[in-house]
């Protein structure tokens, strides 16, 4: 039956996709027949979450290798989709187009960084870690370098990085659930958490894999459909990616015409928190080369060190498949990332071009305040206008918007039916849930497998191990939700920190573990500990008013952390004795795809 399922995957997900499209059509018919916007929103979120829960239930398992690595039989293309969903977080889905909209070129370093990192994953790490046959990333570190200390330090770095990331994801599920279901955020966070746990608790990695594929399909439809629709409706071109050059140029013209007027500090104080105005050029280069490159570099090295991504490549049937699968992952990510700048362009032009019917700049303030969608999004605290200069007309510098509004509000502004907004809510929920699942699972697996099984109780039976793994899953989820409910950090800030933490502690210990035979336990431990501590120290220093150096900011502190990690690892390795002959043979084994994996199928 299991073999059957794998063979039938294209059919199963084909039917699923058809069913989802059918659901969208039914919803749009319901809308025509007078179903309220609120009911449509509830239907979209409830229906999709219910499907994920069913998939999660059907994937339940009592086997260690199914729970930890989905039985290592996930075909390349499907693993690519699952990785793409795992990768693209609530931030990618909801906040990325907004970031591009407000910050332009300086922000687009993230697009380059979050894709370029996959080249490092494919060439430096994924195939070798797959050959190794580990269950978790610390499993590789612990076996390659030997000793409980190295294993434990890897778990610490993994937990710090992933936990920073996961609170942002639970926060995002909470935000969407609270809007779509119309419940207070403090409760919505836990609704989000329960949905997340439904996918992963019974089936572990197997459940997460098959729900992530389903979530990818929902999120990509939810992102692309509005972009194409808006572009066609505005007459900007039927295939926006290749046809928006005139629109990009037109935004440049309008920027020239309006100019970026600086607002007085007293005026800005009246703008609600979290909203921003358009203050940066859309397509012009507005950052120094180093600011752009350092951010891209930090994100690329962070990508190659984040355990929840790496562990997706442990689930492929072979080393060859792991390599190809990285390519597919990036292809599926590319579909969304290349659309985000197009959405930002369409959204901005439709708002600021006075010659378009949707344009609001140049209209009278009273007229704008009377628009339906303005009132809705103003109430949701995502839009704001104010007549600073008192001339009664809305100027570019008098219009403020939240970053999320670009994705959430543009369909409504462009006059698309509400069913699209419901679809976008379901897409955002899918994006945030799939990433949260991957992250919680990465942490819980590392603690249950590496700390509990490998260090505390190596004789534990499979059944007991899996109970521990599931208990940890729930505990970590609740811890994340509790912190998310406090609303300390914005979605994107903590996401970027996670990359910096991961690269500070793990990048060089992972890469050198494969590519430098001389690297030893002492070096790896020094690299992980000093890398993480120096990165953290730098972040705290800069956050407390430190000036920083070499233009390294609180968003790129991983560059400093990983440099310290590299130096510490090389120096300490060379000062201590070289790894044993057995370890060196192990590294040789890892470097060729054929032959048995280092760790057994069940370990």
For position 540 contacting another protein by CB under 8 A, the verdict is: no
Per CB under 8 A, the list member of 342, 413, 424, 433 interacting with another protein is: 342
Q: Which residues contact 515 (CB under 8 A, 6 or more apart)?
A: 124
Number of chain positions touching another protein (CB under 8 A): 54
Q: Which residues contact 339 (CB under 8 A, 6 or more apart)?
A: 223, 224, 227, 240, 241
- Give exposure, 302-339, as e/b (b: 16+ Cβ within 10 Å): bbbbbbbbbbbbbbbbbbebbbbbbebbbebbebbbeb
CB closer to another protein out of 132 and 399: 132
For position 105 contacting another protein by CB under 8 A, the verdict is: yes
Q: Which residue bears the tokens 């699952």?
A: 82
DSSP sequence for 97-138? HHHHHHHTHHHHHHHHHHHHHHHHIIIIIHHHHHHHT-SSHH
Instruction: Please state, in angstroms and rounded to a whole number, the distance separating the CA atoms of residues 20 and 411.
Output: 20
Instruction: Please state, in angstroms and rounded to a whole number, the distance separating the CA atoms of residues 417 and 30.
Output: 11
CB closer to another protein out of 174 and 341: 341
Q: Which residue bears the tokens 């992102």?
A: 223
CB closer to another protein out of 328 and 452: 328
CA nearest neighbour of 557 among 490, 488, 502: 502
Per CB under 8 A, the list member of 155, 330, 512, 564 interacting with another protein is: 330
Per CB under 8 A, the list member of 42, 112, 149, 183 interacting with another protein is: 112
Per CB under 8 A, the list member of 40, 43, 108, 157 interacting with another protein is: 108
For position 319 contacting another protein by CB under 8 A, the verdict is: yes
Site string for another protein, 228-257 (x = CB under 8 A): -------------xxxxxx-xx--------
- Is 603 exposed, middle or buried (CB count within 10 Å of its CB: 0-12, 13-18, 19+)? middle
Kindly report the CA angle at 124 between 582 and 503, in degrees rounded to 5?
A: 100
For position 514 contacting another protein by CB under 8 A, the verdict is: no
CB closer to another protein out of 23 and 516: 516
Residues 252-311 that bind another protein (CB under 8 A): 283-285, 287, 289, 292-293, 296-297, 300
Q: Which residues contact 321 (CB under 8 A, 6 or more apart)?
A: 75, 76, 79
For position 337 contacting another protein by CB under 8 A, the verdict is: yes
Instruction: Please state, in angstroms and rounded to a whole number, the distance separating the CA atoms of residues 510 and 138.
Output: 10
- Which contiguous run of DSSP H or E holds residue 400? strand 399-402
CB closer to another protein out of 543 and 591: 591
CB closer to another protein out of 109 and 160: 109
- Report, in Å, the least distance between residue 553 CB and another protein: 17
For position 113 contacting another protein by CB under 8 A, the verdict is: yes
Residues 551-590 that bind another protein (CB under 8 A): 588
- Report, in Å, the least distance between residue 599 CB and another protein: 16
Within 214-335, strands assigned E span 275-276
Site string for another protein, 68-87 (x = CB under 8 A): ----x---------------
Tell me the CA distances in angstroms from 184 to 167, 181, 189, one per residue in order: 18, 9, 9
Q: Which residues contact 414 (CB under 8 A, 6 or more apart)?
A: 229, 230, 233, 234, 346, 350, 358
Bridge partners for 401 per DSSP = 276, 383
Per CB under 8 A, the list member of 338, 381, 389, 580 interacting with another protein is: 338
Q: How many CA atoms lie within 13 A of 538 on its CB side?
A: 27
Per CB under 8 A, the list member of 30, 35, 119, 599 interacting with another protein is: 119
Q: Which residues contact 29 (CB under 8 A, 6 or more apart)?
A: none
Sign of the Cα torsion 412, 173, 9, 120 reads positive
For position 331 contacting another protein by CB under 8 A, the verdict is: yes
- Report, in Å, the least distance between residue 330 CB and another protein: 5
For position 597 contacting another protein by CB under 8 A, the verdict is: no
- Report, in Å, the least distance between residue 269 CB and another protein: 34
- Report, in Å, the least distance between residue 166 CB and another protein: 26
Site string for another protein, 366-405 (x = CB under 8 A): ----------------------------------------
Residues 405-464 that bind another protein (CB under 8 A): none
CB closer to another protein out of 4 and 379: 4
Would you say 45 and 425 are in contact if contact means Cβ atoms under 8 Å apart?
yes
For position 206 contacting another protein by CB under 8 A, the verdict is: no
CB closer to another protein out of 92 and 159: 92
Per CB under 8 A, the list member of 56, 99, 127, 531 interacting with another protein is: 127
Q: Which residues contact 54 (CB under 8 A, 6 or more apart)?
A: none
- Report, in Å, the least distance between residue 41 CB and another protein: 31
CB closer to another protein out of 116 and 537: 116
Contact region with another protein (CB under 8 A), list: 5-13, 320-328, 346-354, 468-476: 320-328
Name the site residues for another protein (rule: CB under 8 A): 72, 105, 108-109, 111-113, 115-116, 118-120, 122-124, 127, 241-246, 248-249, 283-285, 287, 289, 292-293, 296-297, 300, 317-320, 323-324, 326-327, 330-331, 334, 337-338, 341-342, 588, 591-594
């Amino acid at each position: 039956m299991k073999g059957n399922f794998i063979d039938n995957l294209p059919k199963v997900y084909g039917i699923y996709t058809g069913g989802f499209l059918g659901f969208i059509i039914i919803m749009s018919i319901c809308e025509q027949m007078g179903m309220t916007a609120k009911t449509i929103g509830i239907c979209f979120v409830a229906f999709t979450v219910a499907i994920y829960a069913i998939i999660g239930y059907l994937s339940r398992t009592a086997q260690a290798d199914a729970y930890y690595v989905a039985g290592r039989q996930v075909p390349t293309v499907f693993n690519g989709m699952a990785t793409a969903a795992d990768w693209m977080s609530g931030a990618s889905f909801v906040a990325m187009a907004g970031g591009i909209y407000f910050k332009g070129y300086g922000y687009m370093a993230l697009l380059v960084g979050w894709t370029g990192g996959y080249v490092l994953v494919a060439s430096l790490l994924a195939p070798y870690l797959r050959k190794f046959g580990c269950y978790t990333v610390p499993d590789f570190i612990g076996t390659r370098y030997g000793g409980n200390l190295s294993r434990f330090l890897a778990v610490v770095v993994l937990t710090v990085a992933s936990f920073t990331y996961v609170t942002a994801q639970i926060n995002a599920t909470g935000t969407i659930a609270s809007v779509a279901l119309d419940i207070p955020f403090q409760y919505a966070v836990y609704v989000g958490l329960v949905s997340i746990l439904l996918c992963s608790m019974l089936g572990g990695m197997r459940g997460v894999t098959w729900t992530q594929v389903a979530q990818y399909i929902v999120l990509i439809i939810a992102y692309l459909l509005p972009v194409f629709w808006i572009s066609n409706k505005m007459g900007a071109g039927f295939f926006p990616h290749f046809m928006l050059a005139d629109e990009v140029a037109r935004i440049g013209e309008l920027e020239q015409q309006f100019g970026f007027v600086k607002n007085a500090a007293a005026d800005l104080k009246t703008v609600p928190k979290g909203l921003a105005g358009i203050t940066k050029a859309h397509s012009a280069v507005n950052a120094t080369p180093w600011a752009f490159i350092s951010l891209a570099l930090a994100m690329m090295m962070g990508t190659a060190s984040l355990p929840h991504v790496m562990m997706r490549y442990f689930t492929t049937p072979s080393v060859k498949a792991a390599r190809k699968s990285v390519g597919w992952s990036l292809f599926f990510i590319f579909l969304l990332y290349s659309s985000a700048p197009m959405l930002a362009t369409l959204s901005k032009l439709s708002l600021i071009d006075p010659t378009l019917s949707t344009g609001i700049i140049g209209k009278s303030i009273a007229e704008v305040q009377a628009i339906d969608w303005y009132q809705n999004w103003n109430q949701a605290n995502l839009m704001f206008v104010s007549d600073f200069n008192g001339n009664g007309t809305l100027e570019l510098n008098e219009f403020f918007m939240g970053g999320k509004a670009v994705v959430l509000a543009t369909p409504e502004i462009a006059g698309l039916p509400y069913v699209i907004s419901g679809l976008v809510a379901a897409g955002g929920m899918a994006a945030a849930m799939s990433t949260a699942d991957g992250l919680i699972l990465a942490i819980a697996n590392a603690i249950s497998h590496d700390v509990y099984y490998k260090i505390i109780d190596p004789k534990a039976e499979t059944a007991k191990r899996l109970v521990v793994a599931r208990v940890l899953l729930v505990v970590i989820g609740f811890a994340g939700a509790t912190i998310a409910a406090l609303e300390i950090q914005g979605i994107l800030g903590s996401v970027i920190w996670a990359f910096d933490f991961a690269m500070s502690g793990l990048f060089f210990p992972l890469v050198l573990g494969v590519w430098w035979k001389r690297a030893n336990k002492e070096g790896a431990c020094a690299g992980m500990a000093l890398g993480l501590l120096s990165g953290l120290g730098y972040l705290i220093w800069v956050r407390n008013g430190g000036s920083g150096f070499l233009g390294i900011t609180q968003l790129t502190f991983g560059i400093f952390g990983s440099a310290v990690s590299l130096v510490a690892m090389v120096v300490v390795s060379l000062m201590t004795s070289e790894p044993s002959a057995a370890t060196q043979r192990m590294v040789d084994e890892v470097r060729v795809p054929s032959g048995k994996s280092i760790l057994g199928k069940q370990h």
